[in-house]
Amino acid sequence: MGKEYSDCYYCGGFVEERLIPREVRWKGQLLIFENVPIGVCTQCGEKVVKPKVAKEIDHLLEGNIQPTKTIQVPVYQYA
């Protein structure tokens, strides 16, 4: 099996794929996609989204699908 990601472009560290939440702002709303395959640098934490994954998320957003669940998020004002 070949390496799926290049070394981190920020620090040169090893990048491994993990399933993590991805926050997306779409038409004025904050949306969360769970279990998104994203490359994460094991050294600095920089994240890399493959173009295929980004296009799949765009396709889901344009398809007007229903969310699997809804959560409330508290909002604070920084003074």
Alpha-carbon separation of residue 53 from 33, 34, 78 (angstroms): 11, 13, 33
- In whole angstroms, what is the distance from residue 7 CA to residue 23 CA? 24
Q: Is residue 71 pLDDT above 70, yes or no?
A: yes
Q: What are phi and psi of 40, to 5 degrees?
A: -125, 125
Q: Is residue 3 pLDDT above 80, yes or no?
A: no
- In whole angstroms, what is the distance from residue 38 CA to residue 40 CA? 6
Q: Are 38 and 48 in contact, with CB atoms under 8 Å apart?
A: yes
Q: Is residue 1 pLDDT above 70, yes or no?
A: no
- Please report, as a single letter, which amino acid is at residue 65: I
pLDDT band at 73 (very low <50, low <70, confident <90, very high): confident
What is the per-residue pLDDT across 16-67, written as a single tens digit (0 to 9) for each? Answer: 999 999 999 998 989 999 999 999 999 999 999 999 999 999 999 999 788 9
